[in-house]
Structure 1
């Protein structure tokens, strides 16, 4: 079984926003997260404040994870 880490939802969090912000996981991980958290989908699209969600620990360390580049000016 993969190692898991707990994440706590902030006010107004959706599951995909939470797992992207805190663990760097994308839409492809949603099924894995739902399987690891029975009943999570029943809470609705906006997670209640303080909901703990168990997610698999990312294989890529924070330093090597790439995020999209945002440029304000050319």
Structure 2
């Protein structure tokens, strides 16, 4: 299945890839930053903050969050 991307232009200062993901999906999405870096290899050399005017391809579909199992800790057995 091919991934569809939308292009977003960085319009402010101190914008990171994580912030773009948060603004797009309103949650943390595992693996989405890796997908963005694969679609935009030049971003890896841009530094922590993206330069104003940079065009970033962001996947339209976010990975579905997986169920996280947490083991209960019992203080007294």
TM over 0.5: yes
In structure 1, distance between residues paired with 2:46 and 2:34:
15
| Partner of residue 16, structure 2 | 14
Contiguous gaps of at least 5 residues in structure 2: 63-77
Larger radius of gyration: 2
Runs of 4+ in 1 over 6 A off after TM superposition: none
TM-score, normalised with respect to structure 2: 0.66
Report the aligned-residue RMSD. Answer: 1.9
Choose between structure 1 and 2: higher helix proportion.
1
In structure 1, distance between residues paired with 2:9 and 2:16:
11
Contiguous gaps of at least 5 residues in structure 1: 60-74
8 Å Cα contact 1:34/1:40 also seen in 2: yes
Q: How many residues are aligned here?
A: 59
Shift of 1:27: 4.7
8 Å Cα contact 1:5/1:57 also seen in 2: yes
